[in-house]
Structure 1
Amino acid sequence: MTERGKKIFLAICIITPFLLYCVYYYSIMVKNAPYRFSDFESITFKYGLGDSLNNTFNSKTGDYQYMDTRDSLIKTNVKFRKDDLLYLHRKAAELGFWNFPEEISGKGNPNHSTNSPHYYIEFKYQGKTKHVLFDAQNNENPKLNDAAKSLITEISNMINDVRDRK
């Protein structure tokens, strides 16, 4: 058998089945992904000091209410485009939001204050909902804190960008 014939035989017998298996395996994984954007419904984002989450945003209705610097409640409508929602969905996936615990609190911290900033993030899909309550004073898991803070920053920036885009 020639050298070229050996390479062709190797490609047919080993590499081709491996590539076919990879395509088959990953196509099933993508199809059965737990949180797909095609099933996406809405994002709910709430934040405030302590247990009072006065500032709220709902992407389904576009309702956004927040307290300004003079403690006045401002109500406005902020509608996200599909691209904005897709960006946040992908950012959440990139940061591992689906693996976050339901509550990330700083209750184990001896310096914990009940008046620390709290954030509630909820991604709602057709069959599933993932929500996380995050306490900004939590310092138990730095990687998890950084990921949660990054997601909060991305959502806040997106809301402000869309509001300013009007």
Structure 2
Amino acid sequence: MYYYGMIIKNAPYKFAEFQSMVFKYGKGDSLVNQYNSKTGDYQYMTKDGHLVKKHLHLNKDELLFLHRKASDLGFWDFPANEQPRDTSRKVVSPHYYMEFNYAHKSKKVLYDDAFDGDPSLKDANQRLIKEIQKVLDEAEIRQNK
């Protein structure tokens, strides 16, 4: 128990210092779908091409969940830029930008869905992206009630 307590105490990113999270995604270089927890600004493109803009508030529990999920998946150790090595391919794949901001530091990752690096790193990115999207979807449903 002491060992895990020290790991948490010495964690590089502590939730007590958490300030905001930014999540952006889209095809290619167009990261038109965006959420910023500091401002609550949320915009996304619908399937039929309409841009929806709204204010979406994530509560402390949701932000804590995302902080812990990022920690569990090793987000703090992800490379900042995860792009495919083969740049000759002309496939336009989804890109994701994740940023967690704390009082004294930030962690930013740009992930390309065509990333051809370590499969476990690719899996961890995809799992974190799904969790962020799930939390945003659930918060939007809750807010619309």
TM-score, structure 1 length as denominator? Answer: 0.80
Give yes or no for the alignment of 1:160 onto 2:137: yes
Give yes or no for the alignment of 1:63 onto 2:63: no
More helix by share: 1
Give yes or no for the alignment of 1:87 onto 2:62: no
Q: Distance in 2 between matches of 1:68 and 1:157?
A: 16
Tell me, yes or no, if the aligned pair for 2:22 and 2:35 is still in contact at 8 Å.
yes
Aligned CA RMSD, in angstroms, stands at 1.7
Give the aligned residue type for 2:34: T
- CA deviation after TM superposition for structure 1 residue 69, in Å: 1.3
Bigger Rg, structure 1 or 2: 1
TM-score, structure 2 length as denominator? Answer: 0.91
Shift in alpha-carbon separation, 1:27–1:90, aligned structure 2, 3 A:
closer
- Structure 1: gaps of 5 or more residues: 1-21
User: What do the CA deviations read for 1:45-84 (whole angstroms, capped 9, x no partner)?
Assistant: 0001111111100011111001111211110111001000
- Structure 2: gaps of 5 or more residues: none
Give yes or no for the alignment of 1:137 onto 2:137: no
Give the aligned residue type for 1:60: K
- CA deviation after TM superposition for structure 1 residue 32, in Å: 3.2
Shift in alpha-carbon separation, 1:147–1:112, aligned structure 2, 3 A:
farther
Count of equivalent residues: 143
Give the aligned residue type for 1:61: T
Give the aligned residue type for 2:54: T
Tell me, yes or no, if the aligned pair for 2:85 and 2:116 is still in contact at 8 Å.
no
Q: Distance in 2 between matches of 1:146 and 1:71?
A: 29
- CA deviation after TM superposition for structure 1 residue 160, in Å: 0.4
Q: Percent identity?
A: 48
- CA deviation after TM superposition for structure 1 residue 109, in Å: 6.3
Instruction: Name the residue aligned to 1:117.
Output: 94
Higher RCO, Cα 8 Å, sep 6+: 2
Report the 3-state secondary structure (helix = DSSP H, G, I; strand = E; otherwise coil) of the residue aligned with 1:161. Answer: helix
User: What do the CA deviations read for 1:83-123 (whole angstroms, capped 9, x no partner)?
Assistant: 0000000000000000000011113266452x210000000
